[in-house]
Amino acid sequence: MLNKIILASKSKVRKEILDKHNILCEVKPSNVDEDVVKESLINVSASPEIISKNLAELKANKVSSNQREKIVLGADSVIDLDGELISKPESREEALIILKKLNGKKHNLISSACISKNGSMIWNYTDIAELTMKNFSEENLKKYLSKISDEALYAYNVYQIEGEGRSLFSKIEGDEDTIMGLPVKKIKEYLRNYTQGINDE
């Protein structure tokens, strides 16, 4: 495995996932204006999956262009509710609106990863998990939100799958790391092969 990669994200959750899998990383946030990018892609009818892939690549390429010969990982996660893109909430009121939209329905959680070097993508991967939310009264949704800290709420979208959030769902199909924001098993596999390729040269 490589000695160290650069994570183009300020997400503590993604850093924790990499740490858990013994992937050493240095954090250098891309500071890409996601809302502007999302809006321009929605205007050309891009699907949530395409938006997620584009954002992951944009973040990785931006940081990578200033990090010569280094491996940079960019990532992005979005919720796809019947083709509608659901972004992270910016307030508790917004979080409640999102939960009411997802209430009793099936949705996809899309997590994309992109690895770039010298400002260009060299690998990417997108994984999709499917989650079915139980039907809750508005009162119960508010009760759930009251148990979630601000940090967890804004970091994990509206549900923290390895904590309180699991109780929201009747069915979860997909990889837990993907749901938390990083398809790390495929990233690890790629990095192992990449390192092997360097060693074979």
Burial of 122 (0-12, 13-18, 19+ CB in 10 A): middle
Q: Is residue 127 flagged as an active site residue?
A: no
Q: Which residues are CB-neighbours of 41 under 8 A, at least 6 positions away?
A: 50, 51, 54
Q: Could you say which of 19, 33, 35, 76 is catalytic?
A: 76
Question: How many Cα atoms within 13 Å fall on the side-chain side of residue 95?
Answer: 24
Task: Give residue for tokens 């307030």.
Answer: 91
Cβ 95 vs Cβ 22: under 8 Å: no
User: What is the rounded CA–CA span in Å between residue 53 and residue 172?
Assistant: 22
Q: Which residues are catalytic?
A: 76
